[in-house]
Amino acid sequence: MKRINFNFLFVLSLLIYFPSAYGQVMEKDSLNPEQVITELYDLVSIQKGSTGDWDRVRELFIDEAVIVLRTSWEGTTVFSLEGFIDDFVNFIENYNIKETGFSEKIISVKSWTFGDMAHILVLYEASIPGSERPPQQGIDSFLLIRKDGKWKITAITNEIPTPARPVPEELLK
């Protein structure tokens, strides 16, 4: 009985003396599906002078994730996780994003969770600060699973609204 009490007191003392470290670990390890997606948008919104935290981006995905993005009005490109990151890094370098910054802001979210799987639709607005181009809206569809107690992104698909393909009403509410 004394050993159990000692273990309990030891763990309790760690929490008392190191609450911020415990909170940071718990915060990243206990994200719900919507929080995972929100963090991803925060990570790909590049602040002026930055190039992104790609190691943290990797942590949000399973290694085998598939990302399918609209890369032109008629075409899509299928990426692995590393291909997605490489493409984003090339975008940062080719469009001087380190000097201007880049923003992907969530406009609305619709989510559905069942057991260890989740589906999240996001209407977002992408922009480059100071650019003459107006912000571009897009819709991302995310599939997530809970793996080893953590929610991870397994797949992303992306579509760009057009006059012939407007934003669905349920994402405008």
Q: Which two tokens stand for residue 26?
A: 């718990």
pLDDT tens readout for residues 112-132? 999 999 999 999 999 999 899
Hey, which CATH number is domain 32-172, 1.50.10.10, 3.40.50.300, 3.40.630.10, 3.10.450.50?
Answer: 3.10.450.50
* pTM flag (> 0.85): no
The predicted pLDDT at position 82 comes to 98
Task: Compute the half-sphere exposure of residue 95: CA atoms within 13 Å on the CB side of its CA.
Answer: 19
